[in-house]
Amino acid sequence: MSLTETAHAKINLYLHVTGKRPDGYHLLDSLVVFAGAADRLTHQPSEAPLSLELTGPFGQKLASEATDDNLVIRAARLLTQGMDTPLTGRLILEKNLPVASGIGGGSADAAATLRLVDRVLALGTPEPRLLSIAEQLGADVPVCLLQKPTLMRGIGEQLDPAPALPACGILLVNCGEAVSTPAIFKARNAAFSSDAILPAAWPTAAAMTDDLQRLSNDLEPPACALCPSISIVLDAIGALPNCLLSRMSGSGATCFGLFDTAESAEAAATRLRQEQQNDWWIWAGPVLPSPDAPSA
Ligand code: C5P
């Protein structure tokens, strides 16, 4: 039987760089949420050695990386290493999210692989072990494993529940230029920020964006300097009707706009698609609620 896992886009609503470790990794303070936009990873069982196939609108871009170095294969290997019977069959990655774009595509795929392989082999791996494997795969992989609103600190391994979030809509826009995360961190030359002080809950999207306006993505200035299209995207999002906040996610280049509702985010996306002459990737919909939240 085939099994599928969904790897949702990760968005940093703010991202403070608060320090640097001796090994060069940066300490962060970030509120991470997930959007409906997602890659999909399917496992089709067979006796053949494990293989990876890439499909979807961004599958070709990744094709050159469909090797042993691919994070999906590395995640599957790490989880199953030392086991008597190796994982066999086909992994099919439907790549719907732009590559190297600050919304966690590769990290979300690696996290989805851990969840999927755990299900395929009925391993029942305890969450702390999955999180420790995730950490070895990349700083953003642990938060993508949880795939719910989370406060992320350390280099990405300290995860705490986010404030209770209001329902809201989000618009994602990517200009199509891949940016290098190490290069952005290297180009950052501002003083370190402090950790944000957040309330336990935000009653409305407007209250949340009021607080977020006072915070920042510290990687946005160096990213805009290295990739000027990001500033153009941010201005275009900020000028859309009912946009409460426009900001870059992660190390870019994807930017987001926050809206009161998914419907107003979708209306803004329609308008942006009509207005812009570029080949931008545009997605709009809801911010995902926490799976643990009581249903309304
Ligand atoms: O861990 P990941 O592969 O996502 O990180 C890519 C690069 O981004 C790292 O090699 C490092 O240069 C930089 N980085 C950092 N501090 C972090 C996360 C990433 O300096 N917390």
- Please give the number of the atom of ligand 1 that sits closest to the Cα of 154: 21
238 annotated to a ligand binding site: no
DSSP 8-state symbol, 196: P
Using the mean position of ligand 1's atoms as its centre, give its distance from the Cα of residue 181 in Å: 7
Query: Where in the chain does DSSP place strands (E)?
Result: 3-20, 26-49, 51-55, 88-94, 150-154, 158-161, 169-174, 245-248, 255-259, 281-286
Q: Minimum mean pLDDT among 1-15, 52-66, 265-279: which range?
A: 52-66
Length of the chain: 296
Ligand 1 pocket residue status of 248, Cβ below 6 Å? no
**What tokens were used for 40?**
């999909």
Each residue's pLDDT tens digit, 174-219: 999 989 999 999 999 999 999 999 999 999 999 999 999 999 999 9
Do 141 and 109 form a contact (C-beta atoms < 8 A)?
no
291 lines ligand 1 (CB under 6 A): no
Q: Whose CA is nearest to atom 14 of ligand 1?
A: 25
- Please work out whether the CB of residue 139 comes within 6 Å of at least one atom of ligand 1: yes
Residue 98 marked ligand-binding: yes
**Distance of CA 285 from the midpoint of ligand 1 (Å):** 28
Max CA separation in the chain (angstroms) = 58
Gap between the Cα atoms of 78 and 111, Å rounded: 12
Nearest CA to ligand 1 atom 2: 138
For residue 109, report the distance from its CA to the centre of ligand 1, in Å.
Answer: 17
Q: What angle do CA 101, 103, 108 make, to 5 degrees?
A: 115
What would the two tokens of residue 59 be? 């599958």
DSSP 8-state code for residue 220: H
Per DSSP bridges, beta strands 26-49 and 88-94 are antiparallel
Model confidence, pTM: 0.94
Active-site residue numbers?
10, 140
User: 211 near 199, Cβ under 8 Å?
Assistant: yes
pLDDT tens per residue across span 22-65: 999 999 999 999 999 999 999 999 999 999 999 999 998 777 65
Q: Name the residue of 15, 18, 26 to mutate for ligand 1: max ligand atoms within 8 A of Cβ.
A: 26
pLDDT tens digit sequence for 138-170:
999 999 999 999 999 999 999 999 999 999 999
Question: Is residue 156 left, alpha or beta, with left meaning phi > 0 and alpha meaning psi from -120 to 50?
Answer: left
